Structure 1
Amino acid sequence: MESEELVELMKQIEEKGIGWDKVEEQTKISYDLLKLYVNSGPVPVTIINGLKKVLEDPPK
Protein backbone atom coordinates (compact mmCIF):
# COMPACT_ATOMS: atom_id res chain seq x y z
CA MET A 1 0.00 0.00 0.00
CA GLU A 2 1.05 3.56 -0.54
CA SER A 3 2.07 5.81 2.31
CA GLU A 4 -0.66 8.33 1.35
CA GLU A 5 -3.29 5.91 2.63
CA LEU A 6 -1.35 5.56 5.89
CA VAL A 7 -1.18 9.35 6.24
CA GLU A 8 -4.95 9.61 5.73
CA LEU A 9 -5.68 6.90 8.31
CA MET A 10 -3.36 8.54 10.83
CA LYS A 11 -5.10 11.87 10.26
CA GLN A 12 -8.51 10.26 10.83
CA ILE A 13 -7.28 8.69 14.08
CA GLU A 14 -6.04 12.07 15.30
CA GLU A 15 -9.31 13.77 14.28
CA LYS A 16 -11.29 11.24 16.32
CA GLY A 17 -9.09 11.98 19.31
CA ILE A 18 -7.85 8.42 19.70
CA GLY A 19 -4.59 8.39 21.67
CA TRP A 20 -1.55 6.86 20.02
CA ASP A 21 -0.88 4.85 23.18
CA LYS A 22 -4.24 3.13 22.67
CA VAL A 23 -3.52 2.59 18.96
CA GLU A 24 -0.13 1.06 19.81
CA GLU A 25 -1.75 -1.18 22.43
CA GLN A 26 -4.43 -2.43 20.04
CA THR A 27 -2.31 -2.81 16.88
CA LYS A 28 1.06 -3.68 18.49
CA ILE A 29 2.64 -1.12 16.10
CA SER A 30 4.59 1.80 17.52
CA TYR A 31 3.92 5.37 16.43
CA ASP A 32 7.61 5.71 15.50
CA LEU A 33 7.31 2.77 13.10
CA LEU A 34 4.21 4.29 11.52
CA LYS A 35 6.07 7.58 10.99
CA LEU A 36 8.94 5.63 9.40
CA TYR A 37 6.54 4.02 6.91
CA VAL A 38 5.03 7.45 6.14
CA ASN A 39 8.47 8.63 5.04
CA SER A 40 9.87 5.49 3.45
CA GLY A 41 7.30 4.02 1.11
CA PRO A 42 5.35 0.80 0.80
CA VAL A 43 3.22 0.07 3.85
CA PRO A 44 2.34 -3.54 4.73
CA VAL A 45 -1.34 -4.36 4.32
CA THR A 46 -1.47 -5.64 7.90
CA ILE A 47 -0.65 -2.16 9.21
CA ILE A 48 -3.32 -0.51 7.04
CA ASN A 49 -5.89 -3.09 8.11
CA GLY A 50 -4.93 -2.69 11.78
CA LEU A 51 -5.47 1.06 11.65
CA LYS A 52 -8.79 0.63 9.82
CA LYS A 53 -9.90 -1.72 12.59
CA VAL A 54 -8.98 0.90 15.21
CA LEU A 55 -11.14 3.44 13.37
CA GLU A 56 -14.07 1.02 13.11
CA ASP A 57 -13.87 -0.07 16.75
CA PRO A 58 -12.01 2.62 18.74
CA PRO A 59 -10.41 1.53 22.01
CA LYS A 60 -12.13 2.67 25.18
Structure 2
Amino acid sequence: MESEELVGLMKQIEEKGIGWDKVEEQTKVSYDLLKLYVNSGPVPVTIIKGLKKLLEDPPK
Protein backbone atom coordinates (compact mmCIF):
# COMPACT_ATOMS: atom_id res chain seq x y z
CA MET A 1 0.00 0.00 0.00
CA GLU A 2 1.05 3.57 -0.48
CA SER A 3 2.30 5.71 2.35
CA GLU A 4 -0.37 8.35 1.57
CA GLU A 5 -3.02 5.94 2.81
CA LEU A 6 -1.02 5.41 6.00
CA VAL A 7 -0.76 9.18 6.50
CA GLY A 8 -4.54 9.47 6.17
CA LEU A 9 -5.17 6.69 8.67
CA MET A 10 -2.72 8.17 11.15
CA LYS A 11 -4.44 11.54 10.85
CA GLN A 12 -7.85 9.93 11.49
CA ILE A 13 -6.44 8.20 14.59
CA GLU A 14 -5.17 11.51 15.92
CA GLU A 15 -8.50 13.23 15.15
CA LYS A 16 -10.39 10.56 17.08
CA GLY A 17 -8.05 11.07 20.03
CA ILE A 18 -6.82 7.49 20.12
CA GLY A 19 -3.50 7.34 21.97
CA TRP A 20 -0.49 5.92 20.18
CA ASP A 21 0.11 3.60 23.12
CA LYS A 22 -3.29 2.01 22.39
CA VAL A 23 -2.47 1.83 18.68
CA GLU A 24 0.84 0.08 19.43
CA GLU A 25 -0.90 -2.31 21.82
CA GLN A 26 -3.60 -3.24 19.29
CA THR A 27 -1.50 -3.40 16.11
CA LYS A 28 1.84 -4.53 17.60
CA VAL A 29 3.51 -1.81 15.50
CA SER A 30 5.37 1.08 17.12
CA TYR A 31 4.70 4.71 16.25
CA ASP A 32 8.34 5.07 15.19
CA LEU A 33 7.94 2.24 12.69
CA LEU A 34 4.75 3.80 11.30
CA LYS A 35 6.61 7.10 10.83
CA LEU A 36 9.39 5.21 9.04
CA TYR A 37 6.86 3.69 6.62
CA VAL A 38 5.38 7.16 6.02
CA ASN A 39 8.79 8.34 4.82
CA SER A 40 10.09 5.24 3.09
CA GLY A 41 7.45 3.79 0.82
CA PRO A 42 5.38 0.63 0.57
CA VAL A 43 3.39 -0.14 3.71
CA PRO A 44 2.55 -3.78 4.52
CA VAL A 45 -1.14 -4.57 4.00
CA THR A 46 -1.36 -6.06 7.49
CA ILE A 47 -0.51 -2.68 9.03
CA ILE A 48 -3.12 -0.85 6.94
CA LYS A 49 -5.75 -3.46 7.82
CA GLY A 50 -4.86 -3.27 11.51
CA LEU A 51 -5.22 0.51 11.57
CA LYS A 52 -8.53 0.38 9.68
CA LYS A 53 -9.85 -2.19 12.15
CA LEU A 54 -8.73 0.01 15.03
CA LEU A 55 -10.61 2.97 13.56
CA GLU A 56 -13.77 0.90 13.08
CA ASP A 57 -13.68 -0.41 16.65
CA PRO A 58 -11.60 2.00 18.78
CA PRO A 59 -10.31 0.85 22.17
CA LYS A 60 -12.16 2.09 25.23
Give the % identical residues.
93
Secondary structure in 2 aligned to 1:51?
Answer: helix
User: Normalization by structure 2: what TM-score?
Assistant: 0.99
After TM superposition, give the deviation of residue 25 of structure 1 in Å: 0.3
RMSD: 0.3
Structure 2 residue runs of 5 or longer lacking an equivalent are none
- The residue that corresponds to 2:36 in the other structure is 36
Counterpart-to-counterpart distance in 2, 1:30 and 1:45: 16
1:32-60 Cα offsets, whole Å, 9 max, x none, are 00000000000000000000000000011
Counterpart-to-counterpart distance in 2, 1:33 and 1:43: 10
Structure 1 residue runs of 5 or longer lacking an equivalent are none
1:5-42 Cα offsets, whole Å, 9 max, x none, are 00000000000000000000000000000000000000
Matched positions, count: 60
Counterpart-to-counterpart distance in 1, 2:33 and 2:59: 20
Counterpart-to-counterpart distance in 2, 1:20 and 1:54: 11
After TM superposition, give the deviation of residue 4 of structure 1 in Å: 0.1
